Structure 1
Amino acid sequence: KYLTLNKNELIYLSMLLEDPLLKSINDVYKLRTYIFDAYYTGYLEEFKALNQKDLYVFDDYLKTSEKINSLIDEKRQISKESFEMELYKNALNFANSKRIMDIKRVLESVNKPSIRNFINTFQPEMFENVKIWMMTPEVVSTIIPLEYGMFDLVIFDEASQMYVEKGIPAIYRAKKVVIAGDPKQLRPSSLGIGRIEEEDDLYENDILKDVTIDAKSLLDLARYKYHETILNYHYRSNYEELIAFSNAAFYDNKLIVSPNVSFGDKSPIEYVYVEEGRFSKRQNEAEARKVVEIIKKVFRERKNNETIGVITFNSAQRDLIENYIDEEIFKRSRYQKEFEEELFRRDNDEDKSLFVKNIENVQGDERDIIIFSMGYAKDHSGALMRRFGWLNHSGGQNRLNVAITRAKDKIYFVSSLYPEEFKVEDLKSYGPKLLKDFMRYCYFISNGNKEMAKVVLNELHATEKVSKTVLTNKLVDEVEQKLSRFNYRIDRNIGIGTEQIDLALFDELNNKYVLGIICDVDSSDRRINARKDLIHQERYLKARSWEVYRILSKNWYSDNNKEIKNIRDILKKAN
């Protein structure tokens, strides 16, 4: 390693070994402090030299961040107003078109033409003035003329569920294409549709076989061919416990998840054990009854009219729960009205009804509260039959990922088994093994054992990122020591995932964090992108109710009193 040292490192090493001033220091702590100060002074000077054009971001970080935030808000407002004006202009042109009365007459007639014939007849008016079309790929092929590049932009959503050939007709009609989706969620299914599989002996041993033949979905093909952009800020779940498992198991901890700024009376995940549950004819009656009891409990206790969804691991258990809900309605129980209203609930013209779905049909849904009925249990003879349906198939783990990321506020995991009773280690399929890990995670979170929950997450993501270097720890230590004079409890490393907040001031009276502090030690070879690396992270945390302040190591070691004053000013404004 000595041979790999650069000139400055060799000079520094020589100083440590031979400098008489260092040799004369007998106090080890004093020596370490002296060495660190000398090293960091050199580090700062080198950093300034290498990043001179970017230092405007650091020199007055608060003013710079406020200016960038103001510009982002201004751009957003201008974009919104421009978009609305463009839509209004096209709507006005449409209303003043020569054939508008013919269009009204056709729409109001008793014998209306097919949509395809209508569009073909009034194609100039439709495509000159209607600028946004929302259709499935099949509808595009059915009603839109096959004309190359007629749309400026075509966006595919949930492209992981679409076969390549279904997207080709819409792509042909586009000048530009955006393909959005999640490879860790549902894959295309040919159930009830069928798909022609091409088998050609000429391709049998061809390493360079066209990738479009092997791609399972349009998203797969796009990822092979084009640049990929990851949307890694997570917004759905209001508590980090609800997304931490998926982040570790499926996304390599790349999702940026906000730690909890406040805490409810109960855990965001509750593991509900049903001791008498038995699995018979692919159903578990005891669990189904328990699910209905939990729904009634939510009706009684909810404070913000939370929405509810139920997810099962097979269709038989889904049907059983639906039957028990129907019984509550038809026997005119105390909860009849609540069930009826919830089953047909719409908020702001959006479907927010109580749903009961099995694991393969839940993508695209979200609810405040999700209740899982695992169903699988020992039968009446005490044997556990390991028949897991879709979960056992290829891609079964993706269905699990979809299911466990539907909740915004709360998960109830109803099971007739404790996690260690679920014996699946010898199976080849990954889905059931991952389900057991999720059971363990839910059990530990439910019982307040966050340390064991972290163990489960770390096992899922073995290459856990080491987020605190020696330099960062020293900076955090120094900041914490200065903040100890404030009248707040100081917590470190807030969060159970990898995206943690270094320090936070906790108000025990209101049971919430009043300020999070990010201690930022940047490596000297890093290109600073103020908007991407700094501003967006802070805007995201503020959107999740955090008040945050970033301490840059350069600013701290240049004038730590100024940084403490800034923190004190923020706390005064908060109060």
Structure 2
Amino acid sequence: FAARRADASSVPDAPYVRALSDARRAASLALARAAVDAHSLEFNEPLITCATPELVASLNIVDDARYGAVLIDEASQFPTTPLALDLCAAASLTFVAAGDDLQLPPRRHATGLLDDVVDAGRVDLVPLEWHYRSGCPTLIGASNALFYGSRLVAPACAPRDPGLVVIEVDAPMASARGPPAGLVNEGQARRIADDVVALVKKADAAGAPLSVGVVTLNRPQRGLIYRLLLESGAGLEAHPTCKGSLRRTPISGRDVSGDPPLFVESIDRIQGEERGTIFLSTLLAPRAGEATVDLETLDHLEEEEDSDDEQVSRRTPRRRRAPSARHYSTLSHAHGHRLLNVGITRAVETMRCYIHRECPAPGPHDARPGRRAFGWLCRTLLKRPSPCGCASCKALAARLAPTLGTGGDSDDDDDDVSFAAGARAWLRRATPP
């Protein structure tokens, strides 16, 4: 910008500068006239414009103005389209693509801008290592060890909430006809519904906001929990604007203005969400009368052709494994590890994981990254040793060990011990030798 300004004139109000300012103000006025979700702040020079990709395209903002810097957030989900190239070209000095290549790619089978920029290999790569969402180190511990090589650093804190909590539920898995058809665990679903209702009643009694989300591995389990909550008698109703979510019914004496939608979703639909308390259903358990679970079950979590969801609302394309296959699995998906990473990192205060003691854990060297990560997660939650003694497995097991939450519905003393162990592990990593 300075070079171009010098070429035009050394006078601050040179024609080029005036034309640039006029174009930016025109873009600002276009945003102001649009009754849409956009926000512009003008501090003389330059203009700062915040907008969604859809708004940028509809208002032709990049056609009317050239910016010193362009920053794209959630670039892993930003499809590499002509609009993305226009945004790159609109930056006269700096272009920043911020995102996480271990979270979800774009919808509709497109490649992501972040992946394409990194693959190009011609840009500076700056890893972001500070993690701010989780109020307790145990909430990010498993994700940090599994997906980020324990490089993330969580600021030191004294959490008021227990962080990661593990609840063993001895309930069998079964097949549901749907729609959508697939595997369900009614015992886990009922336990989760009861615990959510307890939080709703607690928020009602205290007059406090409610921040809750429920995460499942598939849509049949999601649908079962959703129905149980609707029928719970706790004053919950379908959210009028957020499909797949609930809300507390607005009644006299009940302030729900501070409540985000209570979402109940499978792990391929929650990118960008966060809630104070997250309930995670791991679903998988032996069927009634059986003692173990066949690992092939992980590939058959639901029936693809029985979907009752809208295609456009899907966060990740549901690709069939073969032309004749009718099954779908978030864990066996090509991006299964990304889906799982998103699923276990949504909690700000507490994540309650519901799991059967015989939940199947794929081997540490499973060829599919989603199944492999799920195996490590299950062994961590159930405090099982790794079946492999190779150096890499020993190292990963050591990184995962301090992330263990409480075993079952423990009291606050156990929670404090769990936090202390996580804090000591963080200090060992953060303190230079």
State the TM-score, normalizing by the size of structure 2.
0.63
Q: Deviations over 1:52-88 (max 9, x none)?
A: xxxxxxxxxxxxxxxxxxxxxxxxxxxxxxxxxxxxx
Q: How does 1:528-539 map to 2 (within 5 A)?
A: none
Relative distance call for 1:263 and 1:173 in structure 2 (3 A) is: closer
What is the aligned-residue RMSD (CA, Å)? 4.4
Query: Aligned in 2, Cα 1:460/1:359: closer, same or farther, shift over 3 Å?
Result: farther
Q: Does 1:182 align with 2:79?
A: no
Alpha carbons of structure 1 residues 442 and 463: separation in structure 2 relative to 1, 3 Å: closer
Distance in 2 between the 1:153 and 1:380 partners?
A: 59
The residue aligned with 2:263 is: 355
- Structure 2, unaligned stretches of length 5 or more? 1-20, 37-41, 177-181, 238-245, 302-328, 400-419
One-letter code aligned to 2:146: A
- Tell me, which stretches of 5 or more residues in structure 1 are unaligned? 1-92, 98-102, 108-112, 117-125, 196-215, 466-492, 503-517, 522-575
- Return closer, same or farther for 1:146/1:339 CA change in 2, 3 Å cut-off: closer
The match for 2:115 is 220
Question: Is the 8 Å Cα contact of residues 278 and 416 (structure 1) preserved in structure 2?
Answer: no
Q: Indicate how the Cα distance of structure 1 residues 145 and 331 shifts in structure 2: closer, same or farther if over 3 A, else same.
A: closer
In the other structure, the counterpart of 1:100 is: none
SS at match of 2:350: strand
Task: Say whether residues 1:253 and 2:162 are aligned partners.
Answer: no
Q: Which has the higher contact order (CA 8 A, sep 6+)?
A: 2
Q: Give the distance between the partners of 1:259 and 1:411, measured in 2 at CA.
A: 19
- CA shift, 1:520, in A, is 5.8
1:144 aligns with 2:39: no
Kept after mapping to 1: 8 A contact 2:216/2:267: yes
Report what 2:216 is aligned to. Answer: 312
Q: Does 1:368 align with 2:295?
A: no
Distance in 1 separating the partners of 2:90 and 2:342: 31
1:412 has 2:412 as partner? no
Give the C-alpha shift of residue 312 in structure 1.
Answer: 0.8
Give the distance between the partners of 1:328 and 1:494, measured in 2 at CA.
38
Residues 301 and 443 of structure 1, relative CA distance in 2, 3 Å threshold: farther
**Does the residue aligned with 1:170 lie in a helix, a strand or coil?**
helix
Of structures 1 and 2, the larger Rg is shown by 1
What amino acid is aligned across from residue 171 of structure 2 in structure 1?
E
1:376-415 paired onto structure 2 within 5 Å: 376-380=284-288, 382=290, 384=294, 385-386=297-298, 387-388=300-301, 389-415=329-355
CA 1:340–1:130 in structure 2 vs 1: closer, same or farther (change >3 Å)?
farther
Asked if 1:442 is matched to 2:337, the reply is: no
| Residues 140 and 238 (structure 1), Cα distance of their counterparts in 2 relative to 1, 3 Å cut | same
From the two aligned structures, give the one with the greater helix fraction.
1
List aligned pairs for 1:163-562, cutoff 5 A: 163-165=79-81, 166-175=83-92, 176-190=94-108, 216-223=111-118, 224-258=121-155, 261=158, 267-281=162-176, 282=182, 283-300=184-201, 305=209, 307-329=211-233, 339-340=248-249, 345-347=256-258, 352-380=260-288, 382=290, 384=294, 385-386=297-298, 387-388=300-301, 389-419=329-359, 421-423=360-362, 427-444=366-383, 459=393, 461-462=395-396, 495=422, 499-500=426-427
* Alpha-carbon distance in structure 2 between the residues aligned to 1:153 and 1:332: 45
**Alpha-carbon separation, structure 1, partners of 2:288 and 2:261:** 35
Measured after TM superposition, the shift of residue 346 of structure 1 is 4.0
Letter in 1 for 2:427: Q
Residue type at the aligned position of 1:403: G
Partners of 1:279 and 1:375 within 8 A in 2: no
Correspondence for 2:304: none
Q: Secondary structure at the match of 1:499?
A: helix
The alpha-carbon deviation at position 115 of structure 1 amounts to 7.7
Distance between the aligned counterparts of 1:262 and 1:353, measured in 2? 24
Q: Cα distance, 1:318 vs. partner? A: 1.3
* 2:225 maps to amino acid: I
Aligned residues of 1:391 and 1:397 also touching (Cα < 8 A): yes
Distance 1:225 1:164, change over 3 A: farther
Shift of 1:293: 0.7
Counterpart code for 1:499: W
For residue 288 of structure 1, what is the amino acid of its counterpart?
A
**Cα deviation per residue 1:363-395 (whole Å; 9 max; x = unaligned)?**
111111100112233334635423241221112
Q: How many residues align?
A: 326
User: Deviation at 1:157?
Assistant: 0.6
CA contact (8 A) 1:366 1:408 kept: yes
Equivalent residue letter for 1:186? L
> Any idea what SS the aligned residue of 2:264 has?
strand
Shift of 1:306: 5.3
Q: 2:3 corresponds to which residue?
A: none
TM-superposed CA distance for 1:496, in Å, is 5.5
Go from structure 1 to structure 2 and tell me whether the alpha carbon gap of 1:423 and 1:254 turns closer, same or farther (over 3 Å shift). closer
Does the Cα contact within 8 Å between 1:247 and 1:255 map onto a contact in 2? yes
Looking at structure 2, the residues matched to 497 and 244 of structure 1 have their Cα atoms a distance apart, in angstroms, of: 13
